[in-house]
Structure formats: C-alpha cells, structure tokens
Amino acid sequence: MPLIANIETGLFRIPLPVTLSDSTHGDIAAFELITCRIRDADGAEGVGYTYTVGRNGGAVADILRREIPALVEGREADDTEAIWQQVWWALHYGGRGGPVVLALSALDIALWDLKARRAKLPLYQLLGGFDPRVPCYAGGIDLDLSVDELLAQTDGNLAKGFRAIKMKVGRPDLKADVAKVSAMRQHLGDGFPLMADANMKWTVEEAIRAARAFVPYDLTWLEEPIIPDDVAGHVRIMQAGGVPIAAGENLRSLWEFKSYIASGAVSYPEPDVTNCGGVSAFMKIARLAEAFNLPVTSHGAHDITVHLLAACPNRTYLEAHGFGLDKYIEHPLVLEDGKALAPDRPGHGIGFDWAGLAKLAT
C-alpha cells in the first residue's frame, strides 16, 4: 500500500454573486473553502474539502495544518478506517465536533478520492455502486426574496433542469411564510416536490404550529424546524406537526444520527459529508438509516455527495447547494431530467482551478 507523504491545506474566501440570507445565519456575502490535498509516496493525489458560511474557517485550516499531519503522514493511505479512528480519538478531548470534525471530514474525503483514483474507479463504484442518476433539488437561500423574486428564481432553476425545489421559511410572521409556500405550490402545481427549510428558527410549539399550517401545501419535508440539540423536540414535531421532517446538516457524528433515528425524530436523515466525518461517516449514517427503513438525503457539497447517494439504495434527493463551486472546478454538476449524474472519472472527479483559487487565499 502507498504511504502518505504529505498534506497541503488551503483556505479561500469565495465571494457570492449576491448576498444571501436565512433565518439564523444572517447575511452571507461569502463562504470559506478549506481544502486538503494528500499525496502519497508514489506521487498520487487525493483532494478533499469542507466549508463554512463565512467564519471560523481559519480554525479548521489550522487543525489540518498543525495537528493532522503528525497523525497521518507515513501511514498507509488505503487504511481510511484506521486513519479516521486515529484522528477522531487523538483530537477527541479538545474537539469532538466543531472545527475538528470539519477538518477530519476534509481529510477523509481526500483519502477516499485518492483510494478511488488509485483503483481507477469513480468513487460511487468503489463505494458499492447503486445508480449514478440521483434525483436532485435546487436548494435556494432565499428568505428575503419577494414573491416575484422567489418565483423568478424558481423559474431559473426549472430552466436549469431541476425537478424539485427547496425554499426558506422562518420569517417573524408565519403568515408571510404560509403565503410564500402557497405561492410556490400554486406556481409549481400539485405533486411537484417542494421542500421548506427553517434553519432552526423556531421553538417546538412554533414549529408544530408552522408545520400544521403547511399541511395543505404537500411539502416533501420541513427541514430543521428547531435547534439540532433538541432530539425530544423533534420527536414532538414529528408526532404533532403532520409533515415529514428532514434534519442532520448540523449533526456531527454517526452517534448523533443514531439518537435521532432510534428516537423517531427524523423522516429524512440529512448528513453533510463535509461536517459529519467525511465519506466514511456519511456512508455509515446512510446504512443506519437504511436499517430503519428511512430514506437518506444530503446537505451541501453536491459535487462529492452525488457519488455517495449514487451508492445508496435508500437515497432520495441530492441537494444542489446554494454555495456552488462551479466557477472554480473543471466539471460542474451535470443534470439530466431532474437527476444529477455521478461522473465516471476516477475518484470524485472534482478538478479545482487552483490558480483561480489562489487569488482568493486567506
């Protein structure tokens, strides 16, 4: 097996074309991209990344630069599980979540990319393979848009080939949320997959009230109605709200997902490969959901996650995230009849424009 020779970390601040907002994170003018490039003794390279919504990326990059190399350099690059366990427990006392697990996620993605490249296989095939055509929705970050702006954005996404749409809710006035959900349902027609995302805005009682108000509009799911720490609250919303619940983008481990799934707190587990522990953890979460007969969806990093869902028989929708890397990668995500196509290039197939990113380095 090849040995890991070195790790190179990058930190970049990516400006957004327009300032985005949701119900909890405030205005988002840029996001931080943290990259991890692993080279083995034969000169082969694997690339991973994670991101933030604009702050704390320096802490993630610092862990990748200062802590992780001493733990992994000189180890066999194919031993992804052994390396994951080594890093998780070595950094557990001062980490166990937060920047540490984001750094571990980027590392793990890079290791799986390297492993698949050396095997000359697309990542989804190395992970077992199921179906490279993955249903995909457009994840809009659009809380402050007017109805006309929201519908115009939706028409733009439909023109790009999306056949499922997610919108933001969580305004101070529930009536305003209901009016916009109603407008979207009327615009899209009955049966068109429509999701709504509250970004943790409400209390449990507020979430139940909102969920009941959305029942007539046939949402595929209501996402993150309350804070991720309240498992019992999610159970109450599932029991009393009347709509399916998606959650998980702010859960940081397999064990946190186990608490949700075993408690009946979620309809659609929603891991993010860049913050749940990487490919290794994402696939375990997906298999755990499968054992409970639950469909798995995803958050963020669609260029990587398309491979993971392409290897999951219980997958539902891939999120095409509002923080896209299209300007900085060689091959953006391809849509066909509402489905994202997992590329057949070796590894995850993402080729970064490193020269272009260098201008945004921080």
Active site residues: 168, 299
Provide φ and ψ at 177, rounded to 5°.
-60, -50
Instruction: For residues 221 and 195, give the distance between their C-alpha atoms in angstroms, rounded to a whole number.
Output: 5
d(CA 302, CA 317): 11
CB 246 within 8 A of CB 266: yes
Q: What is the DSSP letter of 25?
A: T
209 burial level (CB within 10 Å; 0-12, 13-18, 19+) = middle
Q: Output the CA angle 229-193-238, nearest 5 degrees.
A: 30
From residue 53, give the alpha-carbon distance in Å to each of 50, 323, 362: 11, 9, 15
Q: How far apart are CA 51 and CA 12, in angstroms?
A: 9
State which H helix or E strand residue 20 sits in: strand 4-22
Q: What is the identity of the amino acid at 4?
A: I
Residue 13's H or E segment, with its range, is strand 4-22
Q: What single DSSP character describes residue 339?
A: E
